[in-house]
Amino acid sequence: QVQLQESGPGLVKPSETLSLTCAVSGYSISSGYYWGWIRQPPGKGLEWIGNIYHSGSTYYNPSLKSRVTISIDTSKNQFSLKLTSVTAADTAVYYCASSPDFWSGYSRYYYYYMDVWGKGTTVTVSS
Amino acid sequence: QSALTQPASVSGSPGQSITISCTGTNSDVGGYNYVSWYQQHPGKAPKLMIYDVSKRPSGVSNRFSGSKSGNTASLTISGLQAEDEADYYCSSYTSSSTYVFGTGTKVTVL
């Protein structure tokens, strides 16, 4: 059973870079699936940030694309989020999540939902 | 990409049925059968309730059901229970290979 745990600084200064890590247990990240980040500002709704496939391919929210990088570290079985030039608007609870895949014959297919979520980590942008 | 549109709040009495709508465009909800629904209790992470429009993950009550017509997806909760009081979000895969969430709906059990 996949389990996810976010970690990183709880406080980031404006204009600096927000860096978070999601540790994966119960599954080898190099085996498949794809992995993503979602955030939720205080009192507001969910916002999808981006995904990374086990192959390294990435997809980002167009509104954040210029500032976001998601990467995978297979040696540590974790994936990471970097968000540059942060402002108070980036203050949020950040969640990591996984999306499963399956094989049919010799082809890999992906499911289009997030079935396992981390508990979330709060990041505040303030000087 | 714009957030999918959901009603801000829906309420019902115990035992009743309620339906939450989720309206998008031909580029997301209307273009794919990849709509999912998430339940979120205060201070908790979202939980997957429905995927691929109408499929339930193992362990999710059959009181939860999903459907779609055109650019609008719907989540129905039948036999409403106190534990169903939470925020609900829809999500859809998009033509840009991205995802978009709905604006969220607060369900109140009267």
pLDDT in tens, B50-68: 999 999 999 999 999 999 9
Instruction: Give the tokens for residue A7.
Output: 């970690």
From the list B3, B34, B57, the residue facing A115 with the nearest CB is: B57
Q: Which chain B residues are within 8 Å of A61, Cβ to Cβ?
A: 1, 98
Tell me the pLDDT tens digit for each residue of B15-36: 999 999 999 999 999 999 999 9
Instruction: Provide the strand spans (E) within A41-125.
Output: 47-53, 58-60, 68-73, 78-83, 92-99, 101-104, 107-110, 116-117, 121-125
**Torsion (CA) A113, A32, A54, A111 in degrees, nearest 10:** -20
B102 in A contact zone (CB under 8 Å): yes
Q: Which chain A residues are within 8 Å of B34, Cβ to Cβ?
A: 112-113
Q: What is the pLDDT of residue B59?
A: 96
Query: CB–CB of A48 and B32 under 8 A?
Result: no
Cβ neighbours of residue A104 closer than 8 Å, sequence gap 6 or more: none
Instruction: Give chain A's mean pLDDT.
Output: 96
Residue A127 near residue A13 (C-beta atoms within 8 A): yes
Q: What is the pLDDT of residue A56?
A: 87
Q: Which chain B residues are within 8 Å of A60, Cβ to Cβ?
A: 98
